[in-house]
Structure 1
Amino acid sequence: MTSEAARALGEDLARAGGGPAAGTVSAQVVDVTDRGVNLDYRGALLLDVPCVDSYRNRRAGDWVALRPGSRPVVMWRLGTDPGDVDEESIRSLAREVTLDEQVVRAATWGTAAPAGTGWQTVQTLYLRKNTEGKVELYGQLASQSDTSPDTPPDRAPKPATITPTAYGTWRGGRPDDYADYPTQGDWTGRGNRRGGWFYGSAIAAACAGKAVASMTVKLSRRRGSGVNARRPLHLYLHGYTSPPSGQLDLGDGPEEPLSLSAGATGTATLPASWRSQLASGAAKGLAIYASGSRDYMSVSGGTITITFS
């Protein structure tokens, strides 16, 4: 936090007076970090402001109530009631949990006929295990006294999460031992850096025989690399299953699907043409590259999530 921003917060608190609710000011979330949020307060960027636990589902663009002071804290989100959105996500999650369970409520047997009504005599019983490992039963009847329920529709394969097996940075046509994480740009004038994440053949293997609906990558900007303000990632494809000993050649790009401030984490959706190349194995991984100091940053993460249709 800059001294000017801290001074402004102090003035707001002095003017507000009263209890904790009266001593709050409004600010907008720029990015979400692993320590809290980065905030835009009167044009100043406040980094890693902690949040109370009740502020959940944090997103860039949220307007929040900020309690000023020497250690500012985000108290709550401002705006409409998020209940409807929460209900939709809860219902979706509940449906997924239900589908994960066996479709047969109970399986019992004995030498006597079953108690209760509605039972039908099975001439031949068939069973199988589907691709998800769930049991399906089919009873062939001698005569039918009630209609059969509809067969539940097949659902899309579960999403696949692919984590990098390696990562690194290259400068001057060779690996850069002075960079701990993938880095783009040039901060010191010693040459532009490029970084890459490597997945072996795991991406293509996860997509084999499936229709890919989307691919996203989760990335986190390292603190202390470049300016604190939001800067875009310049994203490329590459064709390596593991880090090369020479230059990391870049494939298609650049795309700029994500901008991050210092310490922020975000998720970028990859273009349709990129997911096709990654799914087929024509491309193997992701890289970043920029020229000069403006967009210089170091980046960690690189986990790819693939959804199917």
Structure 2
Amino acid sequence: MTSEAARALGEDLALAKSATTGSGTVSAEVVDITDTGVNLSVGGALLINVQCSDAYRNRKAGDWVAVKLGAKPVVMWRLGADPGPLDENTIKSLAKEVSLDEQVVRAATWGTTAPSGTGWQAATTPYVRKNAEGKVELYFQLAAQSDDSPTAPPDRAPKPVTISPTDTGTWRGGRPDDYASYPTQGDWTGRGNRRGGFFYGTKIASACAGKTVSKMTVKFTRRTGSGVNAKRPLHLYLHNYSAPPSGQLSLADGPDELLSLSAGATGTATLPASWRSQLASGAARGLAIYASGSRDYLSLSGGSITITFS
């Protein structure tokens, strides 16, 4: 461990100890979200993976929360405005999405006699087809029309898809580094800078073929025990490999610091339009991380890419 890294780690530990020796309830800011809790800033100290009560839902970085201090701090609830209106909009959006997933035909029946009731029109030729989503579409050609046809709903964009890496790895000194369990950037021990890679085969380009891509996001989790606990930026690059190379992992476009994470945190970044275009076309195949020195040393898991179409 370098002297700079040791000093930073000592500061983190000292601040965390002083922040948890009190009691009662205090307010704190959420720095990041982890798999099982949150990272908090309390009195200048960074507390890692603090557990949360069920009352604190829809967690996100930047929230102010009430924290019960003690040997094991617990987040009790969110401070601020009532999130009800936001929840209502989310529910309405989900309800619309579900309704569009259902067939638009209310009933399909038949018999040997004419249907009962009013409003029926005799169809001379029926047409049926299945659209790209697998939904049935019906069209009836009429000999004479007595009522206007309802307007067919517009075609929806293809549903978003999420693609997970088929493989990952770390390189140091121009070759794979078998000592790193997860993709890693930087140098913690003074033995050389590491670079990590996330590989997707040809799945990204295949998912985008024939479609218009409007957005790509990538989700990472920063591993605990990799570097200092404080937020550090991910130095992201593109690469052109479908699978891990046996030699050096060469970097393409980048670096771009799209996301910063504290230890144990999970975050999502939106890829630049130019990167999105290259990945969709197959000109680029995956993502990489690389940093120099110990300041931004970290390891990552995850790497799933979510593609949204229009």
- TM-score between the two structures when normalised by the length of structure 1: 0.94
Q: Deviations over 1:215-272 (max 9, x none)?
A: 0000000000000000000000000000000000000000000000000000010000
Q: How does 1:270-281 map to 2 (within 5 A)?
A: 270-281=271-282
Give the SS at the match of 2:52: coil
2:178 is matched with 177
Contact 1:66 1:73 in 2 (8 A): yes
Using a 3 Å threshold, how does the CA distance of structure 1 residues 4 and 192 change in structure 2: closer, same or farther?
closer
Q: Distance in 2 between matches of 1:278 and 1:286?
A: 9
Q: Secondary structure at the match of 2:288?
A: strand
My pick for the range that moved more, 265-274 or 89-98, is 89-98
8 Å Cα contact 2:15/2:44 also seen in 1: no
2:226 counterpart residue number: 225
Aligned residues of 1:2 and 1:46 also touching (Cα < 8 A): no
Conserved 8 A contact 1:6-1:70: no
Shift in Å, 1:10: 4.3
- Percent identity, aligned pairs only, is 75
Structure 1 segment 112-261 matched on structure 2, within 5 A: 112-261=113-262
Cα deviation, 1:248-302, whole Å, max 9, x if unaligned, reads 0000000000000000000010000000000111000000000000000010001
Gaps of 5+ in 1: 14-22
Query: Given the alignment of the two structures, is residue 89 of structure 1 paired with residue 90 of structure 2, yes or no?
Result: yes
Q: Secondary structure at the match of 1:50?
A: strand
**TM superposition shift of 1:146:** 1.3
Aligned-pair CA distance for 1:5: 4.1
CA-to-partner distance for each residue in 1:4-61, whole Å, 9 max, x for gaps? 54544443x3xxxxxxxxx421000000001200000011001111011231111000
After superposition, the Cα gap between the structure-2 partners of 1:155 and 1:32, relative to the gap in structure 1 and judged at 3 Å, is: same
Farther-moved stretch of structure 1 (171-180 vs 66-75): 66-75
SS at match of 1:227: coil
The Cα offsets for residues 89-136 of structure 1, whole Å up to 9 and x where unpaired, read as 111111111111111111111112222222111111111000111000
Q: Normalized against structure 2, the TM-score is what?
A: 0.94
Which deviates further from its counterpart, 87-96 or 191-200? Answer: 87-96
The AA in structure 1 aligned to 2:229 is N
Measured on the aligned residues, the alpha-carbon RMSD in Å equals 1.2
Contact 2:19 2:45 in 1 (8 A): no
Q: Match of 1:241, as an amino acid?
A: S
Partners in 2 of 1:2 and 1:187 — Cα distance?
A: 18
The residue matched to 1:136 in structure 2 has which SS? strand
Aligned residues: 299
CA offsets 1:46-80 (integer angstroms, 9 cap, x no match)? 11110112311110000001111111111111111
Question: 5+ residue gaps in structure 2?
Answer: 1-11
Q: In 2, are the aligned partners of 1:120 and 1:145 still within 8 Å (CA)?
A: yes
**Of 84-93 and 173-182, the range deviating more from structure 2:** 84-93
In 2, Cα distance between the equivalents of 1:132 and 1:9? 53
Q: Alpha-carbon deviation of 1:83?
A: 1.1
Please name the residue that 2:3 is paired with: none
* Farther-moved stretch of structure 1 (76-85 vs 284-293): 76-85
How far apart, in 1, do the equivalents of 2:272 and 2:77 lie? 35
1:18 counterpart residue number = none
